[in-house]
Structure 1
Amino acid sequence: MKTYKFSWDLLGVEDGRPNLGTQVDLELYRLMHFTLRDVLEDKFGRTVTDEVLFAAGKLAGTEFYTHYIEPVAGLDEFINKTQQVLKEKKIGILKIEEDLLEQGKVLLTIDEDLDCSGLPETDYETCIYDEGFISALFEQFTEKKWRAKEIDCWCTGARTCRFIVKETE
């Protein structure tokens, strides 16, 4: 039996912080995210860490879709509602650059991304969790398998996070 099987009850946002509310400083969110990543990489290596973060993002995206996005009637409503909620929740600003959903492909950007906007430049993309999150959003909407891959990142000098999202089956 899993000790921490995900449920919305674990978030405790309904009445757990009556004075402090639901907002937290971005710096502290990143402190949790990157220290967790550091420990995971030390124990399991980068490949396994990326797999774990992708899977966690996918679970989060699935739950996020169920809790905040559905029901939606079509593609326009899915995109509009997702853009609205991502901005309201201060996750990022979603823009669709190329919509070829019928052909199994979407190119999108997320400006002011929660995970990396403002970080120093590196020679690698950092938004593995986001890849899983975005993959799950498209999977939940279309009921097909999708895979998001970051192709540009703030950390590689792009100043936005760009993802290619492709149907895989």
Structure 2
Amino acid sequence: MRKYQFNWNLLGNMNDRPNLGTQVELETYRLMQFTLRDVLERDYGTENTDAIFFKAGKLAGTEFYQQYIYPVTSIDEFISKTQSILKEKRIGILKIEEALLEQGRVVLTIDEDIDCSGLSELDYETCIYDEGFISALFESCTQKSWRAKEIDCWCTGARTCRFLVTEVK
């Protein structure tokens, strides 16, 4: 039996923090994210940790879509609702640079991304969780298989996170 199979009840009652409320500092979120990543990477290696973060992002994206975006009747409505809720939840600012859905290709950016904006420059992209999250959003909306891959990252000097999202055929 699993102890922590995801369901929205695990998040608790957001009103049970009458003094501190529902917001936390970005630094605290990143402390949890990067210490968890560090432990996983030490115990399971970078490749396995990346796979875990991608899978967790996919689960989060699927659940997020069902909780906040569904139902939508068009791709335009999907994009609009996703942009609004990502900004409202302070996850990031979504912009579509290219949408060639009939060819199975979308290029999007997320400015002020919760996972990496403001981090030091590195020589690699860091938003693997986001890749899974975005993949699941597109899969949930279209009922087709999609794969998001980060192609620019704040941490590589781009100052935005850019993703190529392609339909998997």
Alignment of 1:140-155 (within 5 A): 140-155=140-155
Q: Secondary structure at the match of 1:147?
A: strand
Match of 1:60 in 2: 60
Match of 1:91 in 2: 91
The Cα shift of 1:101 comes to 1.0
Q: Secondary structure at the match of 1:106?
A: strand
The Cα shift of 1:7 comes to 0.3
Q: Secondary structure at the match of 1:58?
A: helix
Q: Judge conservation of contact 1:13–1:22 (CA < 8 Å) in 2.
A: no
Q: Secondary structure at the match of 1:73?
A: coil
- Tell me the number of residue pairs that the alignment of Structure 1 and Structure 2 aligns: 169
CA distance in 2, matches of 1:55, 1:16: 30
The Cα shift of 1:11 comes to 0.4
Alignment of 1:97-136 (within 5 A): 97-136=97-136
CA distance in 1, matches of 2:84, 2:3: 33
The Cα shift of 1:16 comes to 2.8
The Cα shift of 1:13 comes to 3.4
Q: What residue ranges of structure 2 are gaps of 5+ in the alignment?
A: none
Match of 2:5 in 1: 5
**Aligned-pair identity (%):** 73
- The one-letter amino acid paired with 1:127 is C
The Cα shift of 1:18 comes to 2.5
TM-score by length of 1: 0.98
CA distance in 1, matches of 2:66, 2:146: 17
CA distance in 2, matches of 1:85, 1:33: 21
Q: Judge conservation of contact 2:15–2:22 (CA < 8 Å) in 1.
A: no
- The one-letter amino acid paired with 1:5 is Q
CA distance in 2, matches of 1:36, 1:121: 21
After superposing on structure 2, the runs of 4+ consecutive aligned residues of structure 1 that deviate more than 2 Å are 13-16
Match of 1:38 in 2: 38
Q: Secondary structure at the match of 1:35?
A: helix
The Cα shift of 1:14 comes to 3.6
Match of 1:49 in 2: 49
The Cα shift of 1:15 comes to 3.4
- The one-letter amino acid paired with 1:77 is E
CA distance in 2, matches of 1:14, 1:131: 27
Q: Secondary structure at the match of 2:45?
A: helix
